[in-house]
Amino acid sequence: MKKSQLKQLLKPIVKECIQESLLEGGMLSNIIAEVTRGLQPLVETKTPATKSPELLQQQQKELQEQKRELEEDRRQQMKEQKRKLLNATGLPSNVFEGVDPLATGGNADAPQDAAAGALSGVDPKDPGVDISGIMAIGGRNWGKMI
């Protein structure tokens, strides 16, 4: 028998024996455990540093100050945009200053005597009915009144 033929016969048998011994004998799990134990020092774990309450308060104050500054910048930008818009259009700052509301309004095509709604005949300057004391009338007994 030649060496190559013997090798062809023995190689599958040896391979099968090694696989069985690794899996069934528990050697594979032992090898993996040893390898992972050796890798553990290489893994770097960082624990978050706890910040002192003073540092947290200082950071919160800084954030609030930045927020105030950004809000003020936004207001200034809005004012500038409004000023530019008013200058570009030529409109005064209060367009409706001195203008009284119309007594009647609605569709121009509709006849004048047609009712526009429940308050069509009421003057727009009419203050209406004062209901500020209605809660005092019922007090705590609103549930019973309903």
> pLDDT digit of tens for each residue in the chain (146 aa)?
788 888 888 888 888 888 887 777 777 777 777 777 776 665 566 666 677 888 889 999 999 999 999 999 999 999 999 888 878 877 766 777 888 877 666 566 655 555 567 777 777 788 888 887 777 777 777 777 76
Residue 11 included in any domain: yes
Q: Would you state the pLDDT for residue 107?
A: 62
Residues 6+ apart with CB under 8 A from 93: 86
Residues 6+ apart with CB under 8 A from 139: none
What's the rounded Cα separation, in Å, for the pair 66 and 63? 5
Indicate the pTM of the whole model: 0.32
| Domain span holding position 8 | 3-41
What's the rounded Cα separation, in Å, for the pair 15 and 54? 66
Q: Would you state the pLDDT for residue 74?
A: 95
The length of the chain is: 146
Looking at the structure, tell me whether residues 57 and 80 fall in a common domain.
Answer: yes
Residue 34 included in any domain: yes
